[in-house]
Amino acid sequence: MPKQPPDGPEADHPHDHSHADGHGHDHAHVPEEPALRVKALETLLVDKGLVDPAALDELIRLYTDEIGPKNGARVVARAWTDPEFLSALREDATEAIARLGYTGRQGEHMVAVENTPDVHNLVVCTLCSCYPWSVLGIPPRWYKSEAYRARAVREPRAVLAEFGVQIDDDVSVRVWDSTAEVRYLVIPERPPGTDHLDEAALSDLVTRDAMIGTERQLTVDGGDRRA
């Protein structure tokens, strides 16, 4: 959790929308500025005994420190190095991933999809923001953006180009729109020149974006900085 800048929680996040359109019609009495509004709401919920503030802290800690892309990276590295695990992952990804301790919310029903020289997989949720929290944590802002939700299904190659990924014409792009409770984890191809690396070293090469599908070619010097 980044510390708030001294000049306010929104200083690094300028508003890109207007509050002058009356969307606060049913709660005009609640402060409109989101930081104040959420603070007021939390205070009321705590006051009423509807939430325990320590439980809020613990949930945020879990998704900041414990549940994130390093979980998924470990799944990928295990799949690269352990043929029996890869086979289990293909048979029942939920069960295989649970062996590594990654279970629960927004990962209850997992499917792993493997990139090959001929196939590139890309995951989106056009209807909301479904994402495999148990292995990747909280989705990045771009994954939840209107642009990504609208475009990933219609023009995945143009979307990938914006991420710096060029897909050859003879490679099939398979887009997975997460419309049910099944959550998809992309298994990228193991980078060349990594025969000497063990599972832990390999997992350091696996980026979040590669497991969503907005990165394709991992490299031995650590992929790109988006992870």
Partner 1 sequence: MNGIHDMGGMHGFGAIPIELDEPVFHTEWEARALAITVLMAAWRRWNLDRSRFAREEIPPASYLALTYYERWITALVALMRETDLLGDAELASGHAQERKTPPLSAADVRRVIMAGGPVDRQIDASPAFAPGDAVVTSNDHPAGHTRLPRYARGRRGTIVRHHGAHVFPDSHAAGDGEQPNHVYAVRFTAAELWGADGHAGDTVTLDLWENYMQPAEETPGNG
Cα–Cα separations (whole angstroms), residue 224 to 170, 216, 218: 25, 11, 8
Site residues (CB under 8 A) for partner 1, limited to 164-223? 169-182
Q: Does 29 help bind partner 1 (rule: CB under 8 A)?
A: yes
Task: Give least dist CB 83 to partner 1, A.
Answer: 22
For partner 1, the closer CB: 124 or 197: 124
Q: Is 50 in the site for partner 1 (CB under 8 A)?
A: yes
Q: Judge whether 178 counts as a catalytic residue.
A: no
**Catalytic hit among 130, 134, 178, 203:** 130
Residue with Cβ nearer partner 1 (142 or 199): 142
How far apart are alpha carbons 44 and 6 in whole angstroms? 25
Binding status of residue 40 toward partner 1 by CB under 8 A: yes
Which one of the listed residues 18, 87, 125, 178 is annotated catalytic?
A: 125
Q: Which residues, 64 to 103, sit near partner 1 by CB under 8 A?
A: 64, 67-68, 103
Strand, helix or coil for residue 84: helix
Kindly report the number of other CB atoms within 10 A of residue 165's CB atom: 20
Positions in 6-25 near partner 1 (CB under 8 A): 9-10, 12-13, 16-19, 21, 23
Residue 51 binds to partner 1 (criterion: CB under 8 A): yes
Nearer to partner 1, 192 or 222 (CB): 222
Element (H, E) at 151: helix 146-154
d(CA 72, CA 78): 10
Catalytic status, residue 87: no
Indicate if 134 belongs to the active site: no
Of residues 101-160, those binding partner 1 (CB under 8 A): 103-109, 111, 126-129, 134, 137-138, 140-142, 144-151, 153-157, 159
* Nearest C-alpha neighbor of 187 from the set 81, 66, 77, 68: 77
Which residue from 137, 98, 125 is spatially nearest to 182, judged by alpha carbons? 125
Helix and strand counts by DSSP (H, E) for the chain: 10, 4
Q: Name the residue with tokens 């995945």.
A: 156
Instruction: Please give the structure tokens belonging to residue 32.
Output: 């409109």
145 catalytic per annotation: no
**Active site amino acids:** 125, 128-130
